[in-house]
Amino acid sequence: MRLTSPKSVLFVGAYPKPAPLERFVSGDLALRLQSLEWKVLVTSRRMGRVARALAMPLDIWRWRRRYALACVDVFSGPAFAWAEVACAQLRRLRKPYVLTLHGGNLPAFSRLHPGRVPKLLATAAAVTCPSAYLWTEMAPLRPDLLVLPNGLDLQRYALPVPRPPGHNLIWVRAFHELYNPALAIEALDRIRRDHPLARLTMIGPDKGDGSLRRTRSAVQRLGLTGAVAFPGAIPKRDVARHLAQAGVFLNTANCDNTPVSVLEALACGLPVVSTRVGGVPYLLAHGRTALLVPPGDARAMAAAVGRLLADPGLAADLGARGRQLAESFDWSHILPQWQELLAVAIRPTASPAGGAQAN
Residue among 204, 171, 173 at smallest CA distance from 188: 171
SS3 85: helix
Task: State the fold for domain 154-327.
Answer: Rossmann fold (3.40.50)
- CATH placement of domain 8-151+330-350: 3.40.50.2000
Residues 309 and 345: their CA atoms lie apart, in Å, by: 49
Residues 91 and 96: their CA atoms lie apart, in Å, by: 7
In the chain, CATH 3.40.50.2000 covers: 8-151+330-350, 154-327
Residues 83 and 97: their CA atoms lie apart, in Å, by: 11
Residue 167 backbone phi and psi in degrees, to 5? -110, 10
Residue among 293, 236, 230, 245 at smallest CA distance from 263: 236
Q: What is the pLDDT of residue 356?
A: 39
Q: Can you list the residues of the chain whose pLDDT is less than 50?
A: 1-4, 349-359
Q: What is the pLDDT of residue 358?
A: 36
DSSP of 230-275: EEES--GGGHHHHHHT-SEEEE--SS-SS-HHHHHHHHTT--EEEE
Contact 358, 91 (CB under 8 A): yes
**pLDDT tens, position by position, 26-54:** 999 999 999 999 999 999 999 888 999 89
Residues 175 and 208: their CA atoms lie apart, in Å, by: 8
**pLDDT tens, position by position, 194-237:** 999 999 999 999 999 999 999 999 999 999 999 999 999 998 88
